[in-house]
Structure formats: structure tokens, C-alpha cells
Amino acid sequence: MAKTQQQRIVLGLKVRQFRQEKGWNFEELSKRSGISVSYLNEIEKGKKYPQPENLAKLAGALDIAPEFLTSSELTKQFAPLGDLLQSNFLNELPLELFGIEMQQVVEIIARAPDRVNAFISALLEIARNYSLREENFYFAALRAYQELHMNYFEDIEAAADHFVRRHQLPENGGVPADLLAELLKSEFDYKIDAEGLSKYPELQSLRSVYNPRKRRLLLNHKLSEKQRAFQLAKELGFNVLGLRERPLASNLLRVNSFEEALNNYKAAYFAVAVLVNRQAFVRDLRSFFQQSQWNPQILMNMMGKFQASPEVLFQRFNVLSREFDLHKVFFLRFIHDLDRDAFDIDKELHLNRRHQPHATGLNEHYCRRWVSLSLLNDLQKHQKNTGDYNQMLAGVQRARFIDSEEEYLYFAVVKPGYPTINRNVSVSLGILLDDQAKETIRFWNDPAIPRIDVNITCQRCLMPACEQRAAEPVVIQKQQERRAMQEMLKKIVS
């Protein structure tokens, strides 16, 4: 029976440890076991798992019980690594996507087990203390993978282009949801129930659920045309790209593996590429950037033309790096929880380098001076006053960080979190105003665009007399107290 990567790694670490404890090199162990040097090297790197007769020879040469050599039990020296392997975390992360081989990781661990295991123990302890699950690491790895490739994947673009041409889908916007539904039925034998989730009150926050055994797609009847189109295009993505390991619900309620999270992203990317044709969008975006004045209606018109939600349209801004040579870009999604009246960043992506703002999941008050948050407040007021839950708002600002003094042209579109009625959503894009951005975007210096000093959170900001402040700058104050203590300690010692 073929051995798993985990079994090969555990065996290799044991052989290496007991060989080195005896002070033997490969030649000595080869002479005592009768196994070639090259094969021993492959075993220790976790590449090979020997046959039973060779395992017996190794155990005899190293003077250890064969049962222990082949068990999953690790010595105390490698115990933290055992916890990591048991979590299946290393096996799930496709290191090859980052140009890393598992054998390289094993060699690093084996060269300095005490130090590396102490580091692993610290990571696992942090994860336990902050209730981090495997999926938190999966999403972090996925973001790193996207950022590594500037969120642009030519193979998926090519697959989407081929699909659009083969089925003669509209390339200049407005791909009908009904047409996508027919393609799912005819090409992939789907059965689509447009009101399939109506009978399940517990699932009303989901947009779709897929039953693979019956090839049945259950949709939420509250979905708009553009939301239906995206869910159907995403289902096409799973099938066209041959992505077998996938979530069955539209929302990732629980992520079972990195492969599942990655495939979900790939299918969504395919959907965006089908709904918002790359060439057509680049033409429209070029025209938008050539305007001498900021005009939010152009963004709204693009969403209407392509039947795209703000999330879909802003995802298509991934062409900025390739087509406009704009690399210093970040994307954020703010969620306004109306029940708690709280703002959270639930998605972020930073191209080229880590920009501000960042730190998803901070239990702090995000700066209210960002146009995203002011628009979300405006949308909430509109909903309370009119009962209208279909309104979308767009805004722009030149946001200058008071710490770094970097300035961004920052776009935001806010919308109801439909079909979830107790939250609103802001999707935003920030472009660093460097020379390339100023040359590309003519309206960057439009006097009508407000110039606002901003920060990350109120707790980390000392901006004086800020009318929008929602909390005291306690984090900064504690930092200042620590610095004052350190300075005083220096004086006493000196």
C-alpha cells in the first residue's frame, strides 16, 4: 500500500535522528544496513518509504524496535512537529504553488529541530489562544497566492475566453442568467431549482446549495438577476475547470482543505471573467480614467452594463497591473453589521506590497474618515428613512495616512448585503498616487475629490480634534507609556 507524505516524513526524521545520535554518516549506516547511500538519502528527505525487508534492516542497524520505526509516534525532540503533521496542515497547503517542495521544509526542520520545533510550538500556541482554525491559515495562504500573481491568472482567463467564444456569449456586457442556466443543464446535466432554498428557513442567508449526487442546484429565490448570473457562472467554473474538491454551499461555512478554498476562488474568478469581458472592461476603464473629473455614475453604468455586483466589478480591476502598469493597489471589503452597528474588514488583498489599511479582524474601531464607512452610514440612514433596500452609493477620496504620509486615490461602492438584511457591504479599491497613477488617471487631482487624513483604527490614531473618533487612542497611549518607561530605564542604567 502506498504511504502518505506524512508517513514518509515521520520515518525520515526518525532515521536521521537515530543516525546522527550514533555519530554516523550515510556511508556508515549504508555499511551496517546494506542499503545504498542514495536510497538512505531519499528516505531521510521523506521521498521514499522502504519495503518491509529494508525497514527491518534499518531498525536492526539503528538498534530500535521495528514497530516504533514504522509507527506515527515521534520522539520528544520532534513532538511539536507531530502536532503539526496530525493537523494535516502541511499536507493541505500546496507548497508547490509557491515554488517550495515539502522535502525542503523537512530538511529545514531536521537541520535545527529544537529551534524549528520551538517556533512551531509558538505558532500552535498562538493559534489556540486566538481560536485560529486551519481555515484561517488556508485563507491567509490563498491571499498570499493571489498577491504573488497580482491576482491575475492567464490560464483561467484563457479558459473563460474560450468558453465565451464557443457558446457565443455577449462580450460587451449583460450575460443573461437564463442562458447560463441552460448551459449548465445542457453541458453538465444540472437540474436547477430557482426557489430551492425557500423550504429551508435555516439557509436563507445562502445564495445557493449544490447537491452533487443529484446534480441539483438549489437557489435562493431572493437573488437579483446579477446575483443569479454570478452563482450560475461560478457553477460553470467548477465544471469547465474540472474542480472536483469544492464547497457545496455558496458561503464557505467550513473549509475542509486548502484545495477547496483555492478551487472556490478559481471558480469565482472564472465567473468574473465570463461576466465582465476583459477586453471590453479594459476599454471602458481606459475611458473612465481619461475623464478630467470624477463621475461616480460611470462606475454605476459599468455595473449596469455588465450586470455585475460591486464585488464582481472590483474583482475585474485585477487588470490594473497588466493593462495599466498600476501595481500598488489594495482591495478591501467592509461589512457594516447593523445589529451591532459595527464595522469589520472581512476581505483584503494587497498587490505589490502590504499597504495600509490592513489587519483584518482587529477588534477595534476602524477609522470613520474612510469614505467606505461614511457611505455605509449614509446608506443605513437612507434605508431607515425610505425603507428602500436596493440603493447603492459610490464615492471617492484622496486618503493620506497621517503616519506614512502616503496618499491613495480610494474608490468605494456600498450596497445592501442582500439577501442578508441585517448588514450592508462596502467594496473599495485604493491606488497609491505615485507618478504612474497620476499619469494614468486624469481626474486624480479633481478639486471636487475630498482630501482626507486617515488612519487604520481610532485606537491607533493620535489625530487631534477628530470629530469622527469612535474610541480613545489606547493602543498608541500604551505604546507611549512603554517608550517613556524604556527611556527612564536607560537614564537610570546609564
Q: Which pLDDT value is given to residue 12?
A: 85
Measured in whole angstroms, the distance separating CA 436 from the mean position of its chain's CA atoms is 27
Going by C-alpha positions, the residue among 100, 91, 96, 111 that lies closest to residue 44 is: 111
Q: Which helix (H) or strand (E) holds 109?
A: helix 102-111
Q: Is 361 left (phi over 0), alpha (psi -120 to 50) or beta?
A: left
| Alpha-carbon dihedral angle through residues 144, 275, 375, 342, given to the nearest 10 degrees | -50
Q: Which residues contact 25 (CB under 8 A, 6 or more apart)?
A: none
Rounded Cα–Cα distance for residues 122 and 10 (Å): 21
C-alpha torsion sign, points 235, 241, 246, 247? negative
Q: Which helix (H) or strand (E) holds 350?
A: strand 342-351
For strand 423-432 and strand 407-416, is the pairing parallel, antiparallel, or unpaired?
antiparallel
Helix (H, G, I), strand (E, B) or coil at 52: helix
Going by C-alpha positions, the residue among 36, 40, 66, 63 that lies closest to residue 53 is: 66
Q: Which pLDDT value is given to residue 142?
A: 85
Rounded Cα–Cα distance for residues 69 and 145 (Å): 37
What residues does 210 pair with on adjacent strands? 217
What's this model's pTM, rounded to 2 decimal places? Answer: 0.79
Span 50-71, pLDDT tens digits: 898 989 999 899 998 888 888 8
Domain ranges of the chain: 5-132, 154-275, 279-479
| Alpha-carbon dihedral angle through residues 85, 89, 92, 98, given to the nearest 10 degrees | -110
Mean pLDDT by 10 residues, the chain (494 residues): 76 86 91 92 86 90 88 72 61 67 68 66 64 70 85 96 96 92 96 93 90 95 92 97 92 81 95 96 96 95 92 94 92 91 86 61 80 94 90 95 89 86 91 96 97 88 86 88 92 88
- 5-132 maps to which CATH number? 1.10.260.40
Number of H helices, E strands in the chain: 21, 9
Q: Which residues contact 385 (CB under 8 A, 6 or more apart)?
A: none
Helix (H, G, I), strand (E, B) or coil at 473: coil
Q: Which pLDDT value is given to residue 173?
A: 85
Rounded Cα–Cα distance for residues 194 and 219 (Å): 5
Burial 138-157 (b: 16+ CB within 10 A, else e): bbebbbebbbeebbbbeebb
What residues does 407 pair with on adjacent strands? 400
Q: What is the DSSP letter of 318?
A: G
DSSP secondary structure letters along 148-205: HTTT--HHHHHHHHHHHHHTT--SSS---HHHHHHHHHHHH--EEETTTTTT-GGGTT
Q: Which pLDDT value is given to residue 72?
A: 78
Q: Which residues contact 209 (CB under 8 A, 6 or more apart)?
A: 196, 197, 203, 217, 218, 248, 249, 250
Going by C-alpha positions, the residue among 121, 6, 5, 10 that lies closest to residue 73 is: 10
Domain 154-275 has CATH 2.130.10.10: no
CA R_g for the chain: 27
